[in-house]
A and B are shown apart, each in its own frame.
Chain A
């Protein structure tokens, strides 16, 4: 599918979902003439209008055969592997977010660095394990020791 057309359709979908959610905004007895839901409704309708106009303009251009390719370039010339790669990275990051409090900062960050490197095809060996552990320790020193940020201790707190 044409990228701009998809962009317009996604914009329309977001607008509809937003308007649906805006319908649940409660009204207040203190309400002014605009109300708490006034601006959200206006924004929702504006996004829907702009997105539909974008879709229409693009569809007409495609039908007339005058549509130029959307300007993106680089990695996005081949979108399927780019999306697959980004999805994998997001999953690793989500796993890190999920693990952070249960397992603690040090192991979670070491996991994040190690997993991201392996995902980017860095060979698994002792050096990589050392880099991940050393990196996590350096960041822990920076945040927990130097900046006095309370990073989650996780299972280690119970063991100690």
Chain B
């Protein structure tokens, strides 16, 4: 009850409402730009959050994430180019409806499904985060070390095809995390006399470089004839009662799958939206309409990726481990303000999390009016020439990075991280393991060595902590399960190949 009253009082006394609306608007615009993912949209905002109070900053970033998930459906429906990976499933029936002259209806269905998915995802987030955090209050250095290892074991499920590449990407992140002052002895490592590196490589600059600069480098390298343009006079139409009766089941299926995938580390919004599309088709009374402009074919994936976005915050808020690129950026937002998400934050500063939950609910409520008001601007943005957009994004990225420490050295780091990001994209390496390595590297090393200092160098200390044993066992199970799945997949591919021959 106290939490509810605190949350309500925060609505009037803080900047939650304007930040939620601003974040939602920025997110819709960012999501609407093809090639600009939710994580890049959020990364562009990070430098601006330095001067804000923590609640405003976190609400702004989280609302941007939610807004971008909806925004991605706009170009998917209008120009057959998904604004985000997760909106690729929406494109299938959305663009078909657009071809039939029903773009407004398709955008309306997408908006309603996004709202349903958002609300369900956020309610799950509120219900599950606090109990999980309570568990983590009993953590010792050994538990944190084991938690870090559990976090790293997620790499196997986010490696997108090649476990080797995922592990290499994670090791690169862990290596970058060793730059700076040693956590136990205070010795400088890989600093080469650079005072800027004594406190380590700022996570935020690496994120901005990897995601934003790396993506822009790839976009500029992509030839675009600019022939796909959208109709500037499309009007968003809220679904009629008949359509709502037809899509409620798809909305619920999508939301349920989104919640499930959000809890599963590494599954993500793209998997959720395609799974939801497939399941909605299976349970539909008119499966033959799928692929030809089905209302349910738009509702299910949109509800799924929006529910996934809300639930995907649980691992970050409960244990401090980001499960996706976007939540990694949100983690950066916390770290900027000296806050470490996890159980301690819950007990130390619960108002921050109440503020975040309230802000997310405000953002969900604001989604419908903001979407109606910003559609014309979104379409205008979708139609901007790519060269101008890319040039302005880079100018914004470098200006923002400079504003953090007024340091040209930081700009060099951002550019270097951008080159690394471009290289990783070229080799088809996933980014998230690198970010996980960067985030978890310090936690793993510092807590491992602190534990050994406590035990006088005896590794058995990890077996004396039941929480650590539990985490390590789960991590081992997770790794074994993933490796078995990988072996089975290879065998299946081999059998299929032999069958073809």
Mark A residues whose CB is within 8 Å of B.
3-4, 6-8, 10-11, 14, 18, 21-22, 25-28, 30-37, 39-40, 43-44, 46-47, 50-51, 53-54, 57, 66, 70-72, 74-76, 79, 81-83, 85-86, 89-90, 93-94, 96-97, 100-101, 105, 109, 112-113, 116-117, 119-122, 131, 135-136, 139, 142-143, 147-151
A90 lies within 8 A of B51 (CB): no
B6 touches A (CB below 8 Å): no
Q: How far is the CB of A57 from chain B (nearest CB, A)?
A: 7
CA distance A148 to B48 in the complex (A): 11
User: If A18-B175, A32-B452, A86-B221 touch, does A54 touch B164 (CB 8 Å cutoff)?
Assistant: yes
CA distance A10 to B497 in the complex (A): 30
B406 lies within 8 A of A3 (CB): no
B361 touches A (CB below 8 Å): no
Chain B residues with Cβ under 8 A from A147's Cβ?
48, 51, 403
Could you list 22 A-B pairs, sorted by A, with CB under 8 Å? A4-B427, A14-B172, A22-B190, A25-B190, A28-B186, A34-B448, A36-B182, A39-B445, A40-B189, A57-B164, A72-B427, A75-B222, A76-B425, A90-B415, A93-B394, A109-B399, A112-B395, A117-B391, A119-B220, A135-B395, A149-B406, A151-B402
Mark B residues whose CB is within 8 Å of A.
48, 51, 161-162, 164-165, 167-168, 171-172, 174-175, 178, 182, 184-190, 213, 216-218, 220-223, 385-388, 390-392, 394-396, 398-400, 402-403, 406, 408, 411-412, 415, 418-419, 422, 425-429, 445, 448-449, 452-453, 457, 497
B415 lies within 8 A of A93 (CB): yes
Which A residue's beta carbon lies closest to that of B392? A135
CA distance A94 to B412 in the complex (A): 8
CA distance A76 to B422 in the complex (A): 10
Chain B residues with Cβ under 8 A from A50's Cβ?
164, 167-168, 171
Which B residue's beta carbon lies closest to that of A96? B398
A51 lies within 8 A of B168 (CB): yes
List of 4 A-B pairs having minimum Cβ-Cβ separation, nearest first: A120-B387, A28-B185, A116-B391, A36-B182
CB contact between B220 and one of A89, A94, A100, A150 (< 8 Å): that residue: A89
A53 lies within 8 A of B184 (CB): no
User: If A79-B426, A147-B51 touch, does A36 touch B388 (CB 8 Å cutoff)?
Assistant: no
CB contact between A47 and one of B171, B392, B402 (< 8 Å): that residue: B171
CA distance A6 to B453 in the complex (A): 41
B220 lies within 8 A of A120 (CB): yes
CA distance A113 to B429 in the complex (A): 30
A89 lies within 8 A of B217 (CB): yes
B217 lies within 8 A of A86 (CB): yes
Chain A residues with Cβ under 8 A from B448's Cβ?
34
CA distance A77 to B262 in the complex (A): 32
A3 lies within 8 A of B168 (CB): no
Chain A residues with Cβ under 8 A from B453's Cβ?
32
User: If A47-B168, A116-B387, A120-B387 touch, does A26 touch B187 (CB 8 Å cutoff)?
Assistant: yes
Q: How far is the CB of A139 from chain B (nearest CB, A)?
A: 5
Which A residue's beta carbon lies closest to that of B187? A36
Listed residue (B220, B445, B497) with the most chain A CB atoms within 10 angstroms of its CB: B220
B185 lies within 8 A of A100 (CB): no
CA distance A135 to B377 in the complex (A): 18
CA distance A96 to B168 in the complex (A): 32
Chain A residues with Cβ under 8 A from B187's Cβ?
25-28, 36
Q: How far is the CB of B214 from chain A (nearest CB, A)?
A: 9
CA distance A89 to B419 in the complex (A): 10
B402 lies within 8 A of A30 (CB): no
User: If A21-B190, A47-B175, A139-B396 touch, does A101 touch B391 (CB 8 Å cutoff)?
Assistant: no
Chain A residues with Cβ under 8 A from B167's Cβ?
50
B427 lies within 8 A of A3 (CB): yes
CA distance A19 to B351 in the complex (A): 45
CA distance A83 to B222 in the complex (A): 11
Q: How far is the CB of A93 from chain B (nearest CB, A)?
A: 5
A3 lies within 8 A of B428 (CB): yes
CB contact between B387 and one of A33, A97, A122, A150 (< 8 Å): that residue: A122
A139 lies within 8 A of B221 (CB): no
